[in-house]
Amino acid sequence: MNLSTSKNRIPFFKAILHVLFLYPLANLYVGAFYDRLGADPVEQVIHFTGMGALNCLLISLLVSPLAKLFKLSSLLHFRRMIGLYAFAYALCHILNFLFFEVQFDLILFVEEIFKRPYITVGMTAFSILTALVFTSTSKIRRKMKKNWQKLHNFTYLIALLAVIHFYWSVKSDITEPLIYFALYGALMVLRHDSLKLWSQRFRSRQRKMKPQAEGR
């Protein structure tokens, strides 16, 4: 099946993705409602939604390398959608914590953000992700021009912060967080050409700014 020449099939594949992303979330809350999540349902709900957000982030970063590798440009039509589901899962993750752990005590929630480094990192990632979500529309992309891509390159930082958040939140077995660090590293290897280009542009910009600073 050739996705690159079958744009009329994109709505069909998007519908499948909606089911794949929504069903686990719906199943989670149904399980919580009927007390099917084991001895610690709160921990299960918070952990599941957090992992859902992290998985969606990594999948969204994988879209471009796969599209380039297999010459399937139509895969790019799904990247924004996957990113929005990363935001949705992350929002559920935070709301679950806010509701179950601090009972919507906003003052306590803010205190937790500053007191616990793993929450600080997680909220930093969510704040940046929120900015990307609200600037992800085609209209805003046209208005921002080159600055849009610069902003959305922060997706890589968000994913790294999310993995660090996961690592710091684990109290005992760190095997799973280390696996996610490895997956993130593998994604960075796949994007090494883009990262090299961004690095060159950054150094070029720094060189241009240096004479201006010296002339003041």
Please write the tens of the pLDDT for every residue from 165-206: 999 999 888 999 999 999 999 998 887 666 666 666 656 666
pTM, full prediction:
0.86
Q: Which domain holds residue 153?
A: 3-214
What burial class does residue 90 get, using C-beta atoms within 10 Å of its C-beta: 0-12 exposed, 13-18 middle, 19+ buried?
Answer: buried
- Domains of the chain: total: 1
Please write the tens of the pLDDT for every residue from 62-118: 998 899 888 888 899 999 999 999 999 999 999 999 999 999 999 999 999 999 999
8 Å CB contact between 49 and 23? no
